[in-house]
Chain A
């Protein structure tokens, strides 16, 4: 199975500042025939199910604020929150769907 490693485990960011979360896969999740990266990001607030934010590594799900962006290709990916809002406090997970689904361990984002 593909191992997904997220960093950091947690981070505290001031309101309005940038938050950056990294995700590394143990093998490439770029499908050469489609040139798509099979990588998604989810947000999970306390007591709630995960919510899809980003798929194909950089495509924002409908309704997701544009302060959320995804980048990267192959094995290295980043989720960026450009200007942290109070409602963004959550745990964020990356997931690969290139082969049998696996998730990163999660990154907890808090307000500094």
Chain B
């Protein structure tokens, strides 16, 4: 069974940092691109970042470019999102999602984790 499980969310002050993790199982992790998508409380979905299966291709939404860094460790079946210089508008549930039928930075997102809540507040 395909599973992705996020962790690392919490309360952080504006300007602070947080590192999210995503543990994958039930599929050949190194064969798939992965994505982060976020959802602010009561709002819609916003794509955040893409990383190719090898980690060689990485893309970010303009809203997080220069502040967030995505990485993966295929040997450990894990995905990470380092978030720096956090702002109140980064408050959201962050989902890890597996990519399929990807073209450039764009994928169908076929499996999603339960998400982890990041709250940026003083």
Query: What residues make up the interface of A, taking CB atoms closer than 8 Å to B?
Result: 31, 38, 40, 42, 48-52, 55, 61, 93, 95-106
Known: A52-B110, A96-B106, A101-B35. 10 other contacts (CB 8 A): A38-B106, A42-B109, A50-B95, A50-B112, A55-B100, A97-B103, A98-B103, A100-B106, A101-B105, A101-B106
**Is B115 in contact with A97, judged by CB distance below 8 angstroms?**
no
Tally of B interface residues using CB under 8 Å: 26
> Does chain A have a CB within 8 A of B44?
yes
Given A49-B114, A103-B47, A40 contacting B106 (CB threshold 8 A): no
Query: What residues make up the interface of B, taking CB atoms closer than 8 Å to A?
Result: 35, 37, 44-47, 50, 59, 61, 95, 100-115
Given A49-B112, A49-B113, A61-B110, A99 contacting B104 (CB threshold 8 A): yes
Given A49-B95, A49-B114, A49-B115, A97 contacting B46 (CB threshold 8 A): no
The binding surface of chain B is classed by DSSP as strand
| A-side contacts of B59, CB under 8 Å | 100
In the bound complex, how far is the Cα of B43 from the Cα of A104, in angstroms?
Answer: 11
Given A50-B112, A93-B45, A99 contacting B106 (CB threshold 8 A): yes
The binding surface of chain A is classed by DSSP as loop
Smallest beta-carbon distance B39→chain A, Å: 9
**Is B108 in contact with A52, judged by CB distance below 8 angstroms?**
yes
